[in-house]
Amino acid sequence: MDLQLKGKRALVTGASKGIGLATAEALAAEGCRVMIASRNGEKLALAAQEIGARHGVEVLWRAADLSQRGAAEALAAWATQPAVHGGGPLDILVNNAGAIPGGDLLAVDEDTWRRAWDLKVFGYINLTRAVYAQMKAAGAGVILNILGNAGERLNAAYIAGSTGNAGLMAFTRTLGGVSHADGIRVLGINPGPISTDRLLSLYRQMAASQLGDAERYTELFKGLSFDRPGTPEECAWAATFLVSPRSAYTSGTILTIDGGQASRQS
């Protein structure tokens, strides 16, 4: 299926690894003019080079810490410069930067909670605001927020993440319910357990503790849906379809990709 994305200008944050990197690659494979951002410039440069070599496109990158005031506005302004894929408003924004640490209410202190929310919660909101203004002026655009199924499958042991993701779910639905008036679609994806470096590191630690051998971590996948975590590519392919004109009537909604976990009653 031709997703009709060739030539579209897309910015993906948190794109040096995991779901963000996989999404940037999927968009490049469909012919998008891709820009990537994260805090790690070294990894970004390597990712841009590798994606560009595989798909014969130029992938541009910019290091940005979206937890800092003004960073979102600066990134949005950079992405529209004539030197960046010819300039002009973005067609697609994928918000993906940020990971909120685990812990219950007494384990997560105020500084930790604020740092995590400054990057993921306020980072998403601020970049969306900056890019939305560009898209509204152009009369078109798509904003996709990569969230997390802890926002719907609430977990007191991950209280900062559950609360942050639930807030971003509300933000996505609220804005996506009215953005059609400006020609813009806003939607989200709630990933469940996905085989990112972070998740695999956690499972290795668990295997070392429970089984005495970190490399036996795949044994702990039993009990997950289909006895495995999802892959970044499975999220990326869904994301690429959702931001495409093939999904042009989708806004204000959130797709959960967790193998059915959020639908279980026990």
Pairing of strands 254-257, 184-191: parallel
Is 78 domain-assigned?
A: yes
pLDDT tens-digit profile of 84-138? 888 889 999 999 999 898 899 999 999 999 999 999 999 999 999 999 999 999 9
Number of domains composing the chain: 2
Task: Name the residue range of residue 158's domain.
Answer: 9-194+231-254
147 and 72, same domain (yes or no): yes
184 and 223, same domain (yes or no): no
172 and 225, same domain (yes or no): no
pLDDT of residue 265: 60
185 and 249, same domain (yes or no): yes
157 and 174, same domain (yes or no): yes
Q: What is the CATH number of the domain that holds 168?
A: 3.40.50.720
pLDDT tens-digit profile of 42-58? 999 999 999 999 999 99
Residue 254 pLDDT greater than 70, yes or no:
yes
97 and 205, same domain (yes or no): no
Q: How far apart are CA 20 and CA 12, in angstroms?
A: 6
Share the mean pLDDT of the chain.
95
Residue 266 pLDDT greater than 60, yes or no:
no
89 and 207, same domain (yes or no): no
Segment 151-159 mean pLDDT: 92
Is 22 domain-assigned?
A: yes
Is 65 domain-assigned?
A: yes
User: Which of 103, 127, 106 minimizes the C-alpha distance to 116?
Assistant: 103
pLDDT of residue 231: 97
pLDDT tens-digit profile of 55-68? 999 999 999 999 99
216 and 126, same domain (yes or no): no
71 and 84, same domain (yes or no): yes
Structure tokens at 110: 């105020």
User: Is 158 tagged catalytic?
Assistant: yes
SS3 content of the chain, % helix, strand, coil (to 5): 50, 15, 35
Catalytic residue among 124, 132, 158, 217: 158
Query: Could you tell me the CA-to-CA distances from 246 to 132, 160, 239, 243 in Å, in that order?
Result: 21, 35, 12, 8
133 and 26, same domain (yes or no): yes
pLDDT of residue 199: 85
Segment 216-228 mean pLDDT: 92
127 and 162, same domain (yes or no): yes
Helices (H), the chain: 18-29, 41-55, 71-79, 110-119, 121-138, 159-176, 197-210, 232-242
Q: Comparing 12-16, 40-44, 206-210, 237-241, which segment has the lowest mean pLDDT?
A: 206-210
User: Which of 179, 32, 25 minimizes the C-alpha distance to 96?
Assistant: 25
88 and 218, same domain (yes or no): no
Q: How far apart are CA 130 and CA 74, in angstroms?
A: 9
Q: How far apart are CA 69 and CA 82, in angstroms?
A: 24
Is 215 domain-assigned?
A: yes
